[in-house]
Amino acid sequence: MSLELFANELLLEIFGYLPSVHVLQAFYRLNTRFDQLIHVHFQTSRFDFRAATIRDFYNVCPTYFPYIKDHLVSLGLSDDDETPNQIELFRSDGWTLDRFPHLRSLSFDHLRSNDNQTAYAQRTHDLRTAIDKRRQEYALAEVQRSLYQQKRADELGVKQENSLNEVLVEKNLERGNVLIEYQRELSILFADYLYSNGFSLRFLFVLQMRTRNTLQSLGISRRTILLKNLIQANLLRKELKGELSMLYQANVSGIQFDQLFIHHVSDCPDIQHADMRHASFRVMSFSHSPSFAFSNLDYSDWSFSKLDNFDFDLTITLNNVRFTGSQLESVSFEAIPMNKVSFRPWEVYQKHICFLFNHGWKYK
């Protein structure tokens, strides 16, 4: 009856009754199944050289140990009369403890009295070498793990950035389409009323509502383009005041009006009930006061502008506004919230500027 017909459990039981050297010499490299069973056997049993002859020792170490060393958990060596100097021969062949990564038990039998100290010192040295190697392997593994985590984090960051860019591109395309659609509708409305005598209230109402909704959905740069379209179409003229203004209740925050109206503004439209935060009026010249009633002008910039006969009435807000270097003549600020407003350095005709506060105090 062939041994290959035996169950794995029975073969492992047989291996337990045989000397370790004989197990290797008889069964190792017969086939993959026996090799795997021998690995399993030595993961739970001691590999014992104590009964091996010198000839067996020299045969097993170079022939089999390179293939089973990673599976050994216990090793026994002996310096008895049958195997003299086995311990020293094992060490001199280069089989130090660091070459057995899973070794948990090491036994020395029949140590000669004059070799005890040498064996102990060698075992201590091998143990230190093995510990140092394990530490180096652990440190290397930690470095590799850290590099892998950093690589994964970088890949995730790039993926998130690409996703964000795709979203931004999509939003920009959407906003661009919104502006194009608005320009198309503006052309259609103009074509419908091209031969009418002036603009009807219905035309103004439809255009105003469409303009308001479009400004709300656009970014600052495209809002500026839309306002340029209105200026070119002469729809921001001063005759369209108050609720008839195209910018009534509109979102014009961040608009650089100094880029729309070059320096001198004689026909600036009324912009009432509007969001005008962060708007810029730098280096502009106002010779009259357009109506900004009930508009939010917080964080707007009037630096180096020239304001003449200009009234900021009590319905607006002017918090965190800059008037740095501005020329203010006959300008009034009447009971307006003006927290953290910057006026210096400024050039002012002080006899014409006044502040009216809620408590009735007046400064000229």
| Per-residue pLDDT reduced to its tens digit, 3-46 | 888 899 999 999 998 989 899 988 998 899 999 999 999 988 88
- Cα–Cα distances (Å) from 129 to 57, 101, 107, 132, 174, in that order, read 24, 12, 18, 5, 66
Arithmetic mean of pLDDT, 136-141: 82
Number of domains in the chain: 2
Q: Which two tokens stand for residue 343?
A: 């006026």
65, 91, 111 - which closes a domain = 111
pLDDT of residue 193: 59
Q: Is residue 163 part of a domain?
A: no
Q: Residues 268, 261: contact at Cβ < 8 Å?
A: yes
- 345, amino acid identity: P
Q: Which two tokens stand for residue 69?
A: 């060393």
Q: Is residue 151 part of a domain?
A: no
**Among 256, 278, 175, 170, which Cα is nearest to 219's?**
175
Q: Residues 57, 83: contact at Cβ < 8 Å?
A: yes
Q: Is residue 138 part of a domain?
A: no
Strand-pairing partners, residue 108, are 77
Arithmetic mean of pLDDT, 179-194: 71
Categorize the per-residue pLDDT at 274 as very low, low, confident or very high, splitting at 50, 70 and 90: very high
pLDDT of residue 301: 93
Q: Do 102 and 199 share a structural domain? A: no
Categorize the per-residue pLDDT at 132 as very low, low, confident or very high, splitting at 50, 70 and 90: confident
Q: Do 215 and 328 share a structural domain? A: yes
Strand-pairing partners, residue 329, are 308
78, 111, 144 - which closes a domain = 111
Q: Do 346 and 219 share a structural domain? A: yes
Local structure of 98: helix, strand or coil: helix
Give buried/exposed letters for 328-355 (b at 16+ CB in 10 A, else e). bbebbbeebebeeeebeebeeeeeebeb
Q: Is residue 130 part of a domain?
A: no
pLDDT of residue 114: 54
pLDDT in tens, 199-222: 677 777 888 888 888 888 888 888
Q: How far apart are CA 172 and CA 168, in angstroms?
A: 6
What H or E segment, with its residue span, contains residue 47? strand 47-48
Q: Is residue 126 part of a domain?
A: no
Share of the chain above pLDDT 70, in %: 80
Q: Is residue 162 part of a domain?
A: no
Q: How many helices (H) and strands (E) does the chain have?
A: 10, 10
Q: Which two tokens stand for residue 274?
A: 């509007």
Q: Is residue 169 part of a domain?
A: no
Arithmetic mean of pLDDT, 134-160: 83
111, 140, 162 - which closes a domain = 111
Q: Do 358 and 236 share a structural domain? A: yes
Backbone angles phi, psi at 51, to 5 degrees: -100, 5
Q: Do 211 and 65 share a structural domain? A: no
Q: Do 211 and 350 share a structural domain? A: yes
Q: Do 341 and 217 share a structural domain? A: yes
Q: Residues 110, 80: contact at Cβ < 8 Å?
A: yes
**Among 253, 347, 334, which Cα is nearest to 299's?**
253
Q: Do 215 and 87 share a structural domain? A: no
Q: How far apart are CA 239 and CA 303, in angstroms?
A: 28
Q: Is residue 118 part of a domain?
A: no
Residues in the chain: 364
Alpha-helical regions (H) of the chain:
8-17, 20-27, 32-42, 54-63, 65-68, 86-92, 116-192, 201-217, 220-232, 257-260
Q: How far is CA 85 from the centre of its chain?
A: 63
Which comes out higher in pLDDT, residue 61 or 92? 61
Q: How far apart are CA 167 and CA 179, in angstroms?
A: 18
Domain hosting 59: range is: 3-111
pLDDT of residue 319: 92
Averaged confidence pLDDT in the chain: 79
Q: Do 350 and 219 share a structural domain? A: yes
Q: Do 225 and 92 share a structural domain? A: no
Q: Do 8 and 103 share a structural domain? A: yes
Q: Do 106 and 226 share a structural domain? A: no
